Amino acid sequence: MNIEAKNYDSEFCGSLPLHNINLIQPYGYLMVLDRDTLSVIQVGENIEALLGISPQNLINNSLSNFIPLSETELLKTRLSSNITDAIPFHLTIKDKQEQTRPCIAILHAKLEFLILEMEEVSGKKAFVDVIQDLKFAMAAIDQAGTVQEACEFSISELKKFSGFNKIMMYKFDENWNGTVIAEVSDERLEPYIGLTFPASDIPKQARDLYLKNPYRLIPSRLYTPVRLYPVRNPVSNSFLDLSDCNLRGVPSVHLEYLGNMDVMASMSTRIIVRDKLWGLISCHHHTEKMLNYEERAVFELLSSIISTKITSIETKDKFDFRNALRQTRGKLLEYIYTDKSFARGLLNHEPNILNLLSAGGAAVIENGVLSTIGAVPKEDDIRNLILWLQNKGIDRVYAESNLSDKYDHAENYIDTGSGVLVIPVDIRRGDYIIAFRHEVIRTVNWGGNPEEAINFEPDGKKYHPRNSFRLWKETLVKTSEPWHSDELAIAEEIRNFIFEFSSKYIHN
């Protein structure tokens, strides 16, 4: 199938209120407390399994009735510090029968109330074992010299540590489609390495939640959701915002999606690069699988370490790229200054404008004279393109990687000019510098047909995720390699230089 690039992000999926699902998973307990009295104002209906008290009877009871005085004081001290980050601590819960149960608790301090998540301590690893796991993983990640190596080392160490059947590194592109760029898996789950999944699989609403919560654990897709009591939060008089809660329930469509993948348990950990969601570490298991808090904390810490490593590598690569551009730009500006002509300066030396902009060809119009280098469209096509640019009134650097989508006549030369970068020198005179990039025919290996992300039932209300992830090939045509933001910035610097010197040297 030959088509042009398409955005597969889903407005429908991205509008679903995932943070207001008002349900939690049953691997932990949730309380909403009054900030001043620590009295329970809302609670997960499974709380009776922990305290031996029904949700209805727990309302208006203070948490201090169920934990030692020292822990109550510690909780109040933490609240008085105004620390907003969710920090874990130990609580010793005393139930109705006076039996104590050690729990890991996470406190979320909100403006009007507190949200307390609790999990019973189980299978706790010794501190030295956790540190050992971390050090091994950190040492492996530190050895990486490229982003690909960092991703491969990371998931390999995490699989050893966690025991998931499959761990993948999932990287987002500019349209939020995600490609599996690294994978380590056993034979029980289908491999996805090299496959791309449409943005609708992880819509905007879900992506935004990863900026608030470092990981997402689903120990079993067959869990029974736990409701909150009362249903509406008494303070806000609305559903409770569970954005930053680990226990937040999972929409049924995602659980069905996991089932279609033959996955019972999953965990996803974010990768943040320059304050933006770069990708996810996605873990799958074919049976139920629970990770305790300490194990999840290792994932959280390693996600930060991996994010830092990828940021460092990309920053170095970006610096090297920019430095190379600046060196070439410096030589070209010197040529222009010496030749007293931007056409001769850009075209008649080594390096030339093709080297600067990684272009296959370029056309320079100076005082109405057309000069070219490399593979370019016919002269009439270039002249018509200039008329189109003049009519559009473009007076700043303009770039397109799919010119024919904006300018119909570009269909005539997609082999040489699928992409253009235009530097306007003098619109009135028709002086332009135009760099061309040839068409790059690219095949995307999708994990299933991206057009079938959501399947509605006849009533138009109930819907289901796609149930096939088999290879589905899409061929993208009429598109060049995209122009890098640093190339656009360098082009603008070239334009400013020529504008400054043209009136003194070129138009005399």
- Inside any domain, residue 67: yes
> What letter would DSSP give residue 412?
G
Residues 288 and 357 in one domain: no
Tell me the pLDDT band of 2, cut-offs 50, 70 and 90: very low
Tell me the pLDDT band of 14, cut-offs 50, 70 and 90: very low
- Inside any domain, residue 324: no
Query: 3-state SS string over 438-472?
Result: CCCCEEEEEECCHHHCEEECCCCCCEEECCCCCEE
Least confident range of 83-87, 195-199, 407-411, 436-440: 83-87
Task: Find the CATH number of the domain harbouring 501.
Answer: 3.30.450.270
Task: Find the CATH number of the domain harbouring 299.
Answer: 3.30.450.40
Residues 256 and 306 in one domain: yes
For 305-354, write each residue's pLDDT tens digit: 999 999 999 999 999 999 999 999 999 999 999 999 999 999 999 999 99
- The arithmetic mean of pLDDT across residues 439-456, rounded, is 79
pLDDT at 458 over 70: no
Instruction: Please report the pLDDT score of residue 127 as a whole number.
Output: 61
- Inside any domain, residue 319: no
Q: How many helices (H) and strands (E) does the chain have?
A: 15, 23
Residues 206 and 62 in one domain: no
Residues 420 and 281 in one domain: no
Of 99, 120, 141, the domain-final residue? 120
For 400-422, write each residue's pLDDT tens digit: 999 999 999 999 999 999 999 99
For 206-229, write each residue's pLDDT tens digit: 999 999 899 999 999 999 999 999
Of 105, 120, 135, the domain-final residue? 120
pLDDT at 10 over 60: no
Among candidates 360, 368, 331, 325, which has minimal Cα distance to 346? 331
Per the structure, the complete domain to which residue 387 belongs is given by 340-441+477-506
Residues 73 and 131 in one domain: no
Say what percent of the chain tops pLDDT 90.
70
**Higher-scoring residue by pLDDT: 4, 378:** 378
Residues 101 and 191 in one domain: no
Tell me the pLDDT band of 3, cut-offs 50, 70 and 90: very low
Instruction: Please report the pLDDT score of residue 262 as a whole number.
Output: 93
pLDDT at 373 over 70: yes
Query: CA dist 306 to 181, 227, 362, Å?
Result: 15, 36, 41
- Does residue 424 have a cis bond before it (omega within 30 degrees)? no
State the residue for tokens 């930053």. Answer: 244
Residues 6 and 152 in one domain: yes
Residues 63 and 188 in one domain: no
- Inside any domain, residue 385: yes
**Higher-scoring residue by pLDDT: 502, 282:** 282
**One-letter amino acid identity for 496?**
N
- Give the bridge partners for 218, in sequence order: 266
Task: Find the CATH number of the domain harbouring 103.
Answer: 3.30.450.20
- Inside any domain, residue 433: yes
- The arithmetic mean of pLDDT across residues 54-74, rounded, is 94
- The arithmetic mean of pLDDT across residues 26-37, rounded, is 95
For 165-182, write each residue's pLDDT tens digit: 999 999 999 999 999 999
Instruction: Please report the pLDDT score of residue 246 as a whole number.
Output: 94
Residues 79 and 12 in one domain: no
d(CA 469, CA 484): 32
- Inside any domain, residue 393: yes
Tell me the pLDDT band of 24, cut-offs 50, 70 and 90: very high
d(CA 219, CA 26): 10
Among candidates 295, 235, 293, 250, which has minimal Cα distance to 115? 235
Of 90, 120, 150, the domain-final residue? 120
Residues 437 and 378 in one domain: yes
**Higher-scoring residue by pLDDT: 284, 448:** 284
Tell me the pLDDT band of 12, cut-offs 50, 70 and 90: very low
- Does residue 214 have a cis bond before it (omega within 30 degrees)? no
Q: What strands lie across the sheet with 100-109, from one edge to the other?
A: 23-24, 226-229, 40-44, 29-34, 113-120, 100-109, 88-94
Instruction: Please report the pLDDT score of residue 96 as a whole number.
Output: 85
- Lookup: tokens for 468: 């096939």
- Inside any domain, residue 235: no
Residues 66 and 9 in one domain: no
Residues 93 and 212 in one domain: no
Q: How many domains does the chain have?
A: 3
pLDDT at 53 over 80: yes
- Inside any domain, residue 462: no
CB atoms within 10 A of CB 151: 25
pLDDT at 447 over 60: yes
Tell me the pLDDT band of 132, cut-offs 50, 70 and 90: confident
**One-letter amino acid identity for 209?**
L
- Give the bridge partners for 117, in sequence order: 30, 106
